[in-house]
Every structure is written in structure tokens, then in C-alpha cells.
Amino acid sequence: MRLHPTGKFDNHAASYWHIEARPLAAAMGAEICGVDAAQVTDEQFQELRQALFRHKMIYLRQQKLTHGEHEAFSLRFGPFAEDAYTQGLPGHRNVHPLIKQADDRSRMVFGEGWHTDSPFLPQPPSITILYSIEIPPFGGDTTWANSALAYAMLSDTYRRMIEGLKVHFSMRDVLKSVHDAVEVGDSPIGRLAATRDAERLSDDLLRKIRGNTHPMVRTHPVTGEKALYVDPSYGIGIEDMLPEESAPILRFLTEHLTQPAFTCRLRWEPNMLTLWDNRLCVHQAYNDYQGYRRELYRTTVSGETPA
């Protein structure tokens, strides 16, 4: 299905007292102006959080953050989440470097393929906060798709059909792609690639491959908004269904969710701070800047058991 904008698209900015929101695309995303993330006031923070839930992804330009300030900003949203892939920096173990070197010729990049962050965990991270330092002269964009809008744009009959279904999320297929396509090296997926030569997978990786089941339709714990919770990277089946039965449903839903009309795309600049709510959107990175370095730092905020 390929839809065109209709009356259900509503990404206009709310009016705020302490921040300004400038919508990015028809479906989602907004730039937030008038905020220094290193010195955000309580009033600004409350509005920024509302804007995040409204636009699903927000970004701030020209932010100068130390790793400590990045951590402090992140902690305003809640405790740090378990990061399923990366190791934090020395002295800042909750700040995770996402660095791809100019000479890395891997056929895959961290975050490639549409996904929501770590849904194979029992309590996946709620919010991801990514800060850019070095950005290639072209490429290295990130795209998001609005899972609440995608849910709203399903027919009533389809919505009734999927109510109560649970998706089985696993790291299995992503790990296989990493093993097939990534050079072993000092990067998050470079280290994961090294596990292909391990005698046997660690208990931690086996736990992530076993994964977890979560409701296909999630209700946002703060706003009550309903959203599809599916992705083509980690969603490998539907509870109590045969693979032949679940595969067409998952394929339809992920194609529906990631159609261009429901997306926004960010052209990064250095010193941008971008936040997204994993309960309300999926995202993907691109491996399209070979020969150039890209350096970002990520924190994630702990989430609840999806319901």
C-alpha cells in the first residue's frame, strides 16, 4: 500500500512558551529552537518532552555538549537503558560512540535496516539521544517512520485483526548479517562481527537471540497514543502462529509502516542533538559515505515492559 497525505497527517507545531518547534516533514519530526541542552530549564524540558511525544523525533542544532552534559541531559528523561550493542566510553559508560572510520569498507553500518532500538530486550529503551561531532560531506543521513501514524492509517478491520497479537523480536537475523558483512574492528558492530569466530556465543548474545515477545500494538505510557510495534530487522515471528502465517502479516505491516509518506529524513550537521521515541517510530541509518568518517555519541533511556 502506498498512501498519500490525508487529514490524518497532523505534524503542526503546538504553541509553546519556552521553546519553538519547527516541523520537519508532513508525517513527523521537528527542529526545536531556543534551547541550550547543556542548560535546559525545567520549563523548557517539559515542553521539549511534549514536543518529542508529538513529533516522535526532534533535533536541536548548534549544541556544544561534553559527554557529561550529554549524560545529564539524558538523565532528565529517566535512568539509562541497557545498551544491547555498544560499550560506553571510559569514564562515561552510558555514552556510546557510534564511529565509522573513513577506511572502514564494511558492507553494513550500525543502525542499517529499519528498526526500533533493541526490541528483543524485555524492557527496550524508550528514548534514544544521539549527538553528532563529525558528519560526512554527503550521506550518513538518518530516516525515521511514524509508527503511530502508520497504525492510525490502517483500516478498522485490520486494526481489529491484529489486536492482541504479540511479535517475537530477536537479534538473530541482524547478528547473521553482521557476521556476513562487517569487518572485525574497534567499532560497535566491528566487535560484534568478531563473535563469528567465537567457539560458542556468550550467554548474553544467546539471551538476545532468544529475544522476547511484545504487543504488536503498543500504547504510549504517557500520552496513551497507540502505535505499531513491528520492524523488519528484529521482528521474526508472531506468537502462536506458523512462520507461513506470520511472515505475510509482518511483511505487510513493515512495508506499510516504512512507506515514504510516513517518514522524515535528517541531514546531519556537526553538533546536532537528536532525540527519538522508540515507542512511536522506527529508524534506519545508511552506509553511503564510504571514504568519510562519521562520529556520533548515543545515550538511551530505560523503558517499560511494552503494553
Residues that bind ligand SIN (CB under 6 A): 98, 110-111, 128, 142, 283, 285, 296, 298
Helix or strand (DSSP H, E) at 245 = helix 243-257
Contacts (Cβ under 8 Å, ≥6 apart) of 49: 77
Shortest distance (Å) from residue 228 CB to ligand SIN: 18
211: left (phi over 0), alpha (psi -120 to 50) or beta: left
**Cα 112 to Cα 175: distance, rounded to the nearest angstrom:** 12
Which residue is at the shortest CB distance from ligand SIN? 111
Classify burial at 270, counting beta carbons within 10 Å of its beta carbon; exposed 0-12, middle 13-18, buried 19 or more: middle
Q: Which is nearer to ligand SIN, 230 or 238 (CB)?
A: 230
What strands, in cross-sheet order, belong to the sheet with 273-277?
Answer: 20-23, 30-33, 57-60, 273-277, 127-134, 294-301, 96-100
Q: Which is nearer to ligand SIN, 110 or 120 (CB)?
A: 110
Shortest distance (Å) from residue 99 CB to ligand SIN: 10
Q: Which is nearer to ligand SIN, 128 or 212 (CB)?
A: 128
Rg of the chain taking only CA atoms, in angstroms: 19
C-alpha cell read off for 285: 541509518
Alpha-carbon separation of residue 117 from 120, 170, 240 (angstroms)? 9, 12, 24
Shortest distance (Å) from residue 141 CB to ligand SIN: 8
Q: Which is nearer to ligand SIN, 153 or 285 (CB)?
A: 285
Shortest distance (Å) from residue 132 CB to ligand SIN: 9
Residue ranges with strand state E in 96-194: 96-100, 127-134, 142-146, 166-169
**Cα 262 to Cα 246: distance, rounded to the nearest angstrom:** 23
Q: Which is nearer to ligand SIN, 60 or 165 (CB)?
A: 60
Q: Which is nearer to ligand SIN, 48 or 285 (CB)?
A: 285
**Cα 222 to Cα 175: distance, rounded to the nearest angstrom:** 33
Q: Say if CB 297 and CB 97 are below 8 A apart.
A: yes
Shortest distance (Å) from residue 129 CB to ligand SIN: 10
Shortest distance (Å) from residue 111 CB to ligand SIN: 3
Shortest distance (Å) from residue 14 CB to ligand SIN: 26
